Structure 1
Amino acid sequence: MVAVITGASRGIGLELARQMAARNSRVLGTHRGAVPADLPGVDWHPLDVASPESHAALSQHLDGTAVDLLVCNAGIYLDKFENLAEGYPPAMWAEMFETNVTGVFLSVQSLLPQLQQSGHGKIVIISSQMASHTRAPGRSYIYRASKAAVLNLGRNLATDLEGLGIAVGIYHPGWVQTDMGGPTASLTPAEAASGLMDRFEALSLKTTGCFETWDGHAHPY
Structure 2
Amino acid sequence: MHIVITGAGRGIGRTLADRYRAQGHSVTGTARDGSAEIILDVTKPDQQRAMASQLRDTAVDLLICNAGVYLDKSESIVGYPTEMWAQTFASNVTGVFLTVQALLPNLRKAKGKIAILSSQMASHTRAPGGSYIYRSSKAAVLNLGRNLSTDLRHDGIAVGIYHPGWVQTDMGGPAAEITVDQAVDGLMARFKDLSLENTGCFDTFDGQAHAY
What TM-score results when the alignment is normalised by the length of structure 1?
0.95
**SS of the counterpart of 1:4?**
strand
Determine if contact 1:19/1:194 at 8 Å carries over to the other structure: no
1:13 corresponding residue in structure 2: 13
Match of 1:143 in 2: 134
Q: Tell me the amino acid that sits aligned with residue 110 of structure 1.
A: A
Q: In the alignment, which of 49, 54, 59 is matched to residue 61 of structure 1?
A: 54
Q: Which amino acid is 1:172 matched to?
A: H
1:206 aligns with 2:197: yes
Aligned-residue offset at 1:34: 3.9
**Are residues 1:115 and 2:107 paired?**
yes
> What is the RMSD of the two structures over their aligned residues, measured on CA atoms?
0.7
- The alignment covers a number of residue pairs equal to 212
* 1:158 aligned to which of 131, 139, 149: 149
Please tell me whether the aligned partners of residues 177 and 185 of structure 1 are also in contact (alpha carbons under 8 angstroms): yes
Task: Give the corresponding residue for 2:43.
Answer: 50
Describe the superposition over 1:19-56 as per-residue Cα deviations: whole angstroms up to 9, x where unpaired.
111111100000111435xxxxxxx1110100000000
Show the counterpart of 1:92: 84
Name the structure 1 match of 2:159: 168
- Aligned residue for 2:171, secondary structure, equals coil
- Unmatched 5+ stretches in structure 1: 37-43
**What residue in structure 2 maps to residue 41 of structure 1?**
none
TM normalised by structure 2 equals 0.99
One-letter amino acid matched to 2:63: L
Identity, in percent, stands at 63
Letter in 2 for 1:211: F
